Amino acid sequence: MRLRLDFRLCLALAVLLPAAAAAQVRAIEVRSPRAFGYFLGDLVQAQVDLVVDAGFSVQPASLPQPGPLAYWLDLRRVALNETALADGGKRIRLNLTYQNFYAALDARPLEIPGFAVTLANETAQGLTTAQAVVPGWSFTISPLREVQPTRQDDPADYMRPDGASGAIDARPMLLASGGFAAATLATLAILARDRAWPPFRPRRVRSFAVARRKLRRLKAGVGTGAAADAAYRDGLLALHRGIDTTDGRRVLADDLSAFLARHPALAPQAARLEAFFAASRLAFFGRDTAGARTLVSFAALDDTLCRLAADERRA
């Protein structure tokens, strides 16, 4: 009697277990963007949707691994996405990317092999597993050329002629190149003049402008007493050096008329230059710096140099 009961229990389990596994995997669907129009080297996309009971997830180790599947087929990529459904189930989507290396001579169907995926649901009562078997599916591949082309007498006729290329108008590029060349030459000419490169001559030193800059530095740092007298004498010497550099020789008070004759552009400053030489004689030979400053002040000395520098630029 007990043996008969055990036999009936085993028979009931054998009937119920496949039904339970079928209930855990509700649907399996394989989709592809198209089933034809593939050539050598093309990527073939496939989307596998598994609808399963809530709580089940794919075991990663059971997924197909990227790599060669056959001499003509490689699996390039596997992407997994899980989405909960409104009815309490779950949709597991596998996005598969294959690459075809079959060099077909005619249009023919090729079958991508199916695979099995293991699903698992771990609860407090234990681990429940189920297997989803994804069926194989096929696509049609086309040849790159006909098996036997039309016979040609000249082998070169098997090749297509080169495509005609459109004419390119080179005038805009030539005009732009000419403009850039002209701008470069103009910039080089300006630089050559500034640096006095040939054929430009070195510019004459503007000695009065140099003397005025020195006088301004002295004027900015002038103090009182002996320091002010020393700064004033240095200012007189700066104007002396400017006159000497302009004439290329030492110029004394008695040489002023000859100096102005050689440099007529400076003639309007004759009276100021006479007063300067008188103040210089008083400061250096009469040892009366105060009297010299009364005759030509620091400001008057700066004004004289300013006028001489302006006449020098116009000369």
**pLDDT, tens digit, 9 for 90 and up, residues 242-263:** 999 888 899 998 999 999 999 9
pLDDT computed for residue 87 by the predictor: 87
pTM of the entire predicted model: 0.45
**pLDDT, tens digit, 9 for 90 and up, residues 11-70:** 333 333 344 444 588 999 999 999 999 999 999 999 999 999 988 999 999 999 999 999
CB proximity list for 313: less than 8 A, separation 6 or greater: 206, 209
**181-208: average pLDDT:** 83
Characterise 179 by phi-psi region: left (phi > 0), alpha (psi -120 to 50), beta (else).
Answer: alpha
Burial code (b: 16+ CB inside 10 Å, e: under 16) for 113-133 equals eebebebebeeeeeebebebe
Alpha carbon distance 71, 29 (integer Å): 26
Alpha carbon distance 279, 185 (integer Å): 52
pLDDT over 80 at 311, yes or no: yes
CB proximity list for 54: less than 8 A, separation 6 or greater: 84, 88, 89, 90
What 3-state DSSP class applies to 136?
coil
Q: How far is CA 95 from CA 7, 41, 101, 273, in A?
A: 45, 19, 20, 99
**pLDDT, tens digit, 9 for 90 and up, residues 64-99:** 999 999 999 999 999 999 999 988 889 999 999 999
Residue pair 301/236 in contact (Cβ under 8 Å)? The answer is yes
